Amino acid sequence: MSLARHWRLQDERYKLIGKECAACGKKLFPSRDICPHCGSRDLKPYRFVGRGEIYSYSTIYQPPAGYEAFVPYTVALIRLDEGPLITAQLTDLDREGVEIGQRVEMVTRKLREYGPEGLIVYGYKFRPVLKG
């Protein structure tokens, strides 16, 4: 069972905590040790609000092993308000469908289970903004 692998990513998966580069000010998600924009190693934790808009999306009909129970499900690239793109599933979708540019917000949902006896992995997904 890969327990530590998922446990160590909880700050990112539960709270969207990435990094902010003290040198160039860019916000980074996920976390890194070296700023890809300016090369600085002076990075501090930064919590993203969890709002953004859809950059692109796709509905999956042929899933990787472990995600069969959710098919069909929709994944997306989302442009977070603070700048970075994030890859995540969309959830709580209406039958009307999804549009590029649509505003979305982060929620915490089940990403997958490792069988009925195994770990449940929770993480970020995005849904159309409920209100406000």
Partner 1 sequence: MRSVSIIGIGQTEVREHWERPLRGLAVASITAALDDAGVDRADALYVGNMLSGELTGQEHLATLIADFAGLRGIEALKVEAACGSGGAAVRMGYLAVASGLHDLVIVTGVEKMTDCEDGLVTEALAMAGDGEYEAMQGLSFVALNALLMRRYMHEYRVSHEDFAGFSINAHKNAARNPYAIFRRPITREEFMSARMISDPINLLDSSPVGDGAATLILCPEDEAQRLCPTPVTIIASATATDTIALHDRDNPLFLQAAHESAQKAYAQAGVGPEDIALFELHDAFTIMAALSLEACGFADNGRGVELAKDGEISLQGRIPISTMGGLKGRGHPVGASGVYQIVELVQQLRGEAGANQVNCHVGMAQSIGGTGATAITHILKGPH
Partner 2 sequence: MKPDREVGIVGYGAYIPRYRIKADEILRVWKSIDTIHLEEKSVPGLDEDTATMAIEAGRNALKRAAIDPQEIGAVWVGSESKPYAVKPTATIVAEALGATPHTNAADWEFACKAGTEAMQAAIGFVGSGMARYALAIGVDTAQGRPGDQLEYTASAGGAAFIIGPKEESLAYLEGSYSYVSDTPDFFRRPHQFYPQHGHRFTGEPAYFKHTYYAAKHLMDELGYTPHDYAMVIFHQPNSKFPRRVAQRLGFTEKQLKPGFLVEVIGNAYAGSSPLGFAAALDEARPGDRILLVSFGSGAGSDALSFTATERILKNDDSLRRVRDYIARRQEIDYGTYCRYRDNLNSH
Residues forming the site for partner 1 (CB under 8 A) = 9, 30, 36, 55-68, 70, 73, 75-77, 84-89, 100, 111-112, 121, 123
Q: Are 106 and 126 in contact (CB under 8 A)?
A: yes
* 83 touches 27 (CB < 8 A): yes
| 14 touching partner 2, by CB under 8 A | yes
| Residue at token pair 């990075």 | 43
Q: Where are the alpha helices (DSSP H) in the chain?
A: 4-7, 10-15
Of 76 and 104, CB closest to partner 1: 76
Q: Please give the Cα distance from 127 to 102 (Å, whole number).
A: 10
Residue among 15, 27, 51, 79 that touches partner 2 (CB under 8 A): 15
**Residues forming a β-bridge with 128:** 104
Question: Interacting stretch for partner 2, rule CB under 8 A, among 8-16, 26-34, 36-44, 79-87?
Answer: 8-16
Q: Which residues bind partner 2 (CB under 8 A)?
A: 10, 14-15, 69-70, 89, 91-92, 94-95, 107-111, 120, 122, 125, 130-132
